[in-house]
Each structure stands twice: as structure tokens, then as C-alpha cells.
Chain A
């Protein structure tokens, strides 16, 4: 779960762990890439607007370094949906207080694996 907003990270961690998933946190793009290189993950949830390196660049680099690792773009903005690089994500979910959609996408993608 990659997000520069501490509250957002905390909320996601609590809710996703309650579903029984193990969650690792990163607070910007560079940190996320480092974690992805070090450890094997089943899925990445990625904010787009972040300091150091934005989510789209992380997405591209993840695809090159770990092809096949599913990525969900999780952002407050709809405007990146038609960005060509966003098409590389397996899902595009708008941030919302209700994490229902995010959880459903995670389930679907993990089942596909």
C-alpha cells in the first residue's frame, strides 16, 4: 500500500488487515520500488500524486522489473484514468471513505493469480 498520506495508509492498513491480508506500507514512490525489489508481493495498491516519484512512474518501473505483478491505482483524481500509462494498471479505483470497491478489486485480482 503506497500513499504519502499517513491517515490514508492507516485506514487502508486496518481495513485490509481486517480482511485477512498482510499489508506492507510505503510512503512514496522510491520507497515502494525498493520494497518491491526486496520482497515478493502479490499485489500493489498505488497512489498517483506522491513526492519523490509519482505513481505512474512506479507503475511503469514495476512493470519492467516485475512483469505480472498486479497493480491497482488508488487515487482521488479521475483525470489520470485515460493516461496511457494508467492503462498498464490492472484496476483504477477512486479513493472513497468506503473501501468496498477497493477490496472487491483486490479479491478479483488475487483470485486471478
Chain B
């Protein structure tokens, strides 16, 4: 559509998600049992008919690389369709990517070779379902120089984001990164617009802008901090595409899972009876890579030793053996032994939880073995000695942690 290639920026360190990002880039962090965060923007691309996708990687990229190779080698290069990984190559710089704009600048060779008319720039670390096509049409209709997708959120939480101020025609008037006094949307003093890190623009404009940015010594080489504010100041036509119509009070799901707490909440959103994020919608399937595993199983139905799963997601190949799982996400190939109790937790792939263990409000990373009778989430002072505990009391057991 519209001769567009996608640059999916997946090089972020995700420092605030540590220790989940100890061994992997943020977009490769597992989500919702079966998925990785990057599956969401990638699925959105495929569902939007965008099939020329470049994933720009940098830090700790092996896990991400493997996931994309295994799960996303589904397009036909013979038809010019592909998901291609572009690792940082230092082709025209001795530095790693210094920011999102620098990441694009350093891949100017790819833009040169592809010569598409447009580029869609996406962040690899948000959970949402979005058809990008209306935004592309909006861009053409408005004859914009650049279009940025925006989400309206309550004004009291907006200070953490890049805040966009628009006029009545959705043209961007100002752009502020993490402002102390965010500007509200026209007509609603309680809402304000934040950038979703999604940009659509003509390739030639993109090239000119990243080159101009590379020439500025003081620049942090970031789209949100440098390029967009400058384009607005120079009077370029910068437009905001509303992901949801705030005038109609529309509510659509978009989460920046930048912190452990936000990540935990977004996972728990899936467990609700009617989840805000519907993964069952066959009109907008979210793809991923899945091992060929047998169906999930529960065993034992004796009094006092009953394998049961309540209000939870359970991945293939998992066995709940005489244990109770409530309000939790159990990923594939997890084994939970008898009399254990898992509550309000996220358990990642390959984890084994011993008999009589009690786990509450905890994220357990892949392949951790929890010993018999071990308790996590019940005494946070004790947990703090071994694991990461967030402000709101979520415990994270990192990969390769021996929980003794």
C-alpha cells in the first residue's frame, strides 16, 4: 500500500524493565504467555498489508533475532515481501545508534536501496492492535510532511510521555518531551495527547530530516525530542493522527510496557473476563512462534490435591499437577507440582515450581526452578534480599536465578 517500507526500531535497552531485559532486548520480552512484545507491531504490519519490514536491532539482539527467524520467516521474498533484521553495522559511523533518528540515518543505505515512496517508523515495545492504513490515508489526505500517531490519555499521567499539542485541525502546534504542565486536547481539559512513537512520512523528507539532525552537534538524535519539535518550529506540516476519537470518548487499547509495573498490569489485563485486549479476534490475529507442544493438562482430582486453573491463561505443554493456579499467566512448557499455589503471577516458559510452593504477585522468568515449599510474594522484605521488588510490590525472579 502506498509503496511503503516499515522501519521497526527494536534497539531499545529497556533499562526500566530490568531484570527481564538482562539477557534480551525489550521487544523480545515475553508477553501474555505465548508472545513477545514485538509480535504486536509485527502482526499489526501484516494485518495492515505492510509486508516490507526491516527490524532495526542493536543491544542483546540474539533472543530477538532467533524469535524473528523462527516465527516470522513467513513472507515470500520472491514477491518482495520480507521481515529482515538490520543489525547495527557501523557502516557510516563509529558509534552505536545514539537515538531513533540516528538509527534511521545509519541505515540510509537501506533507504537508498529500497527507494520506497514512504517509510512507516514503528517502536518495537508497545502492546496494541492498530490498522496503520487509515493513518497513511490521513497523511496523504492532509498532505502532511510527517504524521505522528497519538493517543489521548488522562492529563494527570501524561508527564511521563512525549506530549503533543494540536489545533482544531489536528495540526501539531507543539511537542514536549515529559512536560511538567502537559497541554490538554482542544475541548477536553482532562485529556491530553501523547506520541505513540509511530511516524509516517515520505522517504525523501525522512532522509533530509535525519541528515539535518546529524549535522546538529547538540542533538540527541531522537525523533520525539529533536526532529519533530524542529519540524514544528520550522513551520512544516506536522499532523497528529488520533488512534482513538477522543471527542466520541472512544477507548482503544495501547500500553507502553516500559516499567515492570506497567508490564505486569498489561499482562493481567488479558486475564479479565472480558479482556481489554482481545487476542481471540480472528479479524486481527496476533502471530508468534510456538513450539509444537501438546495441549495444557491438569491432573489429580482428589480432595486436597486438585489440579485446577481459575481465571488464567495457560500455554501448551504445561502441566498443572495437583496445584492451584488463579488469576495468572502460565506460559508454555511450565510444570507445577502438587499442593503449590500460584496467584496473580506471570510464569514464563519452561519454569518448574516445586511441591507446596506459594507464589503471589510474582514474575518468574524462563527456565527458573522454584524449590519445594518456597514462598515468593508473601514477605517482601525477604524477597528483596534475593530478587527485584517493584514499588507496587511485584517480585521479579530473573532467569538463571536459583531460588534458594
The residues of A that contact B109 with a CB separation of less than 8 Å are 85
Contact B94 A87 (CB under 8 A): no
Interface centre among A57, A59, A64, A67 (most CB of B within 10 A): A64
What 0/1 pattern do residues 48 to 90 of A give for CB contact below 8 A with B?
Answer: 0000000001011101110110000000000000011101100
Comparing B206-214, B270-278, B375-383, the segment that makes contact with chain A is B206-214
Contact B217 A67 (CB under 8 A): yes
Contact B93 A61 (CB under 8 A): yes
Smallest Cβ distance from B58 to chain A, in angstroms?
15
Contact B92 A85 (CB under 8 A): yes
Which residue on chain A has the smallest CB distance to residue B218?
A67
A33 to B214, CA, bound (A): 17
Which residue on chain B has the smallest CB distance to residue A65?
B94
The 9 closest A-B CB pairs, nearest first, are: A60-B92, A64-B93, A84-B112, A88-B211, A84-B207, A63-B214, A67-B215, A67-B217, A84-B108
A68 to B217, CA, bound (A): 7
Which residue on chain B has the smallest CB distance to residue A62?
B92
The residues of A that contact B217 with a CB separation of less than 8 Å are 67-68
Known contacts: A60-B108, A83-B112, A84-B108. The answer to whether A67 contacts B214 by CB under 8 A is yes
The residues of A that contact B111 with a CB separation of less than 8 Å are 84
Contact B93 A67 (CB under 8 A): no
| Partner of A64 from B208, B214, B216 at Cβ < 8 Å | B214
Contact B216 A67 (CB under 8 A): yes
Contact A68 B108 (CB under 8 A): no
Asked if B91 is at the interface (CB within 8 A of a chain A CB), the reply is: yes
> What are 14 of the A-B contact pairs (CB < 8 Å)?
A57-B92, A59-B92, A60-B93, A60-B108, A63-B211, A64-B106, A65-B93, A67-B214, A67-B216, A68-B215, A68-B217, A84-B111, A87-B211, A88-B215
B residues 209-261 in Cβ contact with A at 8 Å:
211, 214-217
Taking Cβ atoms with an 8 Å cutoff, the residues of B that contact A are: 91-95, 106, 108-109, 111-112, 207-208, 211, 214-217
A60 to B106, CA, bound (A): 8
Further contacts, 17 of them, CB under 8 A, given A64-B214, A67-B217, A88-B211: A57-B92, A59-B92, A60-B108, A61-B93, A61-B94, A63-B214, A64-B93, A67-B214, A67-B216, A68-B216, A68-B217, A84-B108, A84-B112, A84-B207, A85-B112, A87-B208, A87-B211
A57 to B207, CA, bound (A): 16
Which residue on chain B has the smallest CB distance to residue A66?
B217
Known contacts: A84-B111, A85-B112. The answer to whether A64 contacts B207 by CB under 8 A is no
What 0/1 pattern do residues 79 to 113 of A give for CB contact below 8 A with B?
Answer: 00001110110000000000000000000000000
Smallest Cβ distance from A41 to chain B, in angstroms?
16
A64 to B102, CA, bound (A): 9
Known contacts: A60-B108, A83-B112. The answer to whether A88 contacts B91 by CB under 8 A is no
Interface centre among B92, B108, B207 (most CB of A within 10 A): B92
Smallest Cβ distance from A77 to chain B, in angstroms?
16
A64 to B214, CA, bound (A): 7
The residues of B that contact A64 with a CB separation of less than 8 Å are 92-95, 106, 214
The residues of B that contact A65 with a CB separation of less than 8 Å are 93-94
The residues of B that contact A61 with a CB separation of less than 8 Å are 92-94
Smallest Cβ distance from B93 to chain A, in angstroms?
4
Known contacts: A84-B111, A85-B109, A88-B211. The answer to whether A60 contacts B91 by CB under 8 A is yes
Known contacts: A60-B108, A83-B112. The answer to whether A88 contacts B94 by CB under 8 A is no
| Partner of B215 from A57, A63, A83, A84 at Cβ < 8 Å | A63
Smallest Cβ distance from A89 to chain B, in angstroms?
9
The residues of B that contact A88 with a CB separation of less than 8 Å are 211, 214-215
The residues of A that contact B214 with a CB separation of less than 8 Å are 63-64, 67, 88
The residues of A that contact B208 with a CB separation of less than 8 Å are 87
| Partner of B207 from A63, A67, A68, A87 at Cβ < 8 Å | A87
The residues of A that contact B91 with a CB separation of less than 8 Å are 57, 60
The residues of A that contact B106 with a CB separation of less than 8 Å are 64
A residues 19-34 in Cβ contact with B at 8 Å:
none
Interface centre among A59, A65, A87 (most CB of B within 10 A): A87
A67 to B212, CA, bound (A): 10
Smallest Cβ distance from A100 to chain B, in angstroms?
27
Which residue on chain A has the smallest CB distance to residue B208?
A87
The residues of B that contact A57 with a CB separation of less than 8 Å are 91-92
A32 to B204, CA, bound (A): 29
A25 to B217, CA, bound (A): 26
Smallest Cβ distance from A105 to chain B, in angstroms?
17
